[in-house]
Amino acid sequence: MIDELSLGLAPKIASALLQLLTRLRDDGLSILLVDQNIHQTLAVADRVYLLTNGRISFCGTPEALRERKDLMNAYMGTG
């Protein structure tokens, strides 16, 4: 379990850590990553859970989330 991996780190370091997590995931390790940097997180995630007021408002793949323009706009400011 990793909470806010990229918070306070230089972008180069955060990127290197995400690459490491990707390798660990590919080796079969389960990882729970909590992070507000949604674009980097979606690039390495297999599953996504969005929380709203402590409740799961979305559960699915990164691809399924990207198709939900309403959620992408609400959470990421993109549509």
Q: What's the pLDDT tens digit per position in 56-77?
A: 999 999 999 989 999 888 877 7
pLDDT at 43 (0 to 100): 85
Residue type, 30: S
pLDDT attached to residue 40: 84
**Amino acid code (one letter) for 33:** L
**Statement: residue 45 has pLDDT above 80:** yes
The Cα 58–Cα 49 span in angstroms is: 6
Q: Is 32 a residue whose pLDDT tops 70?
A: yes
Question: How confident is the prediction for the chain on average, in pLDDT?
Answer: 89
Q: Is 68 helix (H, G, I), strand (E, B) or coil?
A: coil
